[in-house]
Amino acid sequence: MFRRRRTLHAVNGVSLDIRKGEVLAIVGESGCGKSTLARMLLGLLPPSAGAITLEGRNIRDLGHKTVARRVQPVFQDPYSSLNPRRTIASIVALPLEVHGVGTAEERRRKVLDILDRVGLPQRFADRYPRELSGGQRQRVAIARALVMNPEIVICDEPTSALDVSVQSQILNLLMDLQKELGLTYVFISHNLAVVEHIATRVAVMYLGRVVELADTDSLFRNPRHPYTQALLASVLTPEPGLGLPDTHLGVAFPDPLNPPPGCSFHPRCPRRFEPCDKVTPALLRDAGGENAVACHLYPPSPANASLPKTKN
Ligand code: SF4
Ligand code: MG
């Protein structure tokens, strides 16, 4: 549905389609551009080049209101994302008010319905965020995202600020709602166990680029990009990412705004070879045309004829 083309600062040459009804996970270390990409998909941040399209139309031309009707976010932090001076009902009803949906009474009914759907008692409608637990607040944020019947929900680390005991409840709720309502999710996460559990496809980002895009099974069984391999290998260490080789003179993560030349993973890559520090590998489809990888270890296949060019 979306297609991101060409270049911009924190997110470079990202080209990916989001398919209706899927859960597309975007993974990578912090600073890789995941959240920047999320903000662009929401129309909150304009790309400096290229375009984000929704069913073929540039979201800049669709206008903020149309995009907001169809694409809604659930952010990481349910504490800062809810206005403390508003009741739960007025927080959830706000998108309806902004878009002029229904009468006050109809909006109230819609809000009570959606609270029900996300597993909150209707009596919470007249409470304030401070009276709710973290998990309950995230349910409110989910209710607010769904009240407009969006097609796409951008979940940016939706459970990482929550207690571990609550995380799986919220994940299960998100997955139930996705099936029930036929939603499409872009699910941003650094938690690979969660991603393996819920995603249809996975895009792995490194320094603002998608370096591998694959269906979840292929990605976890047969990771092809050396960065994906390193990420998966580090998943068993207590701090994911620390298992990566670091030849960057103590700087574990290069500056995303000033990435190394060529393949930006080359300073940390155990398999780098001659062209890697000079030539940027494009994201190329495999022979089946479904999965893609940006690495010189994998020569182009005929499936790439129709791909948009990745700019350096
Ligand atoms: Fe490693 Fe080269 Fe592939 Fe980059 S292009 S991941 S440096 S082998
Ligand atoms: Mg982030």
Regarding predicted confidence, which is higher, 250 or 41? 41
- The domain limits of the chain are 214-306
Written as six digits, the tokens of 249 are 């003179």
185-235 pLDDT, tens digit each: 999 998 888 999 999 999 998 888 889 999 999 999 999 999 999 888 875
What pLDDT is stored for residue 7 in this prediction?
Answer: 32
Query: 234, 244 in Cβ contact below 8 A?
Result: yes
Q: How confident is the model at residue 309 (pLDDT cuts 50, 70, 90)?
A: very low
Q: For ligand 1, is residue 162 a contact (CB within 6 Å)? A: no
What's the CA gap between 290 and 301, in Å, rounded?
A: 12
Regarding predicted confidence, which is higher, 290 or 304? 290
What pLDDT is stored for residue 116 in this prediction?
Answer: 97
Which DSSP state fits 160? T
What's the CA gap between 80 and 218, in Å, rounded?
A: 37
Q: Kindly tell me if the per-residue pLDDT of 153 is higher than 90.
A: yes
Q: For ligand 1, is residue 297 a contact (CB within 6 Å)? A: yes
Q: For ligand 1, is residue 208 a contact (CB within 6 Å)? A: no
71-95 pLDDT, tens digit each: 999 988 777 889 999 999 999 999 9
Taking the CA of 160 as reference, the closest ligand is 2
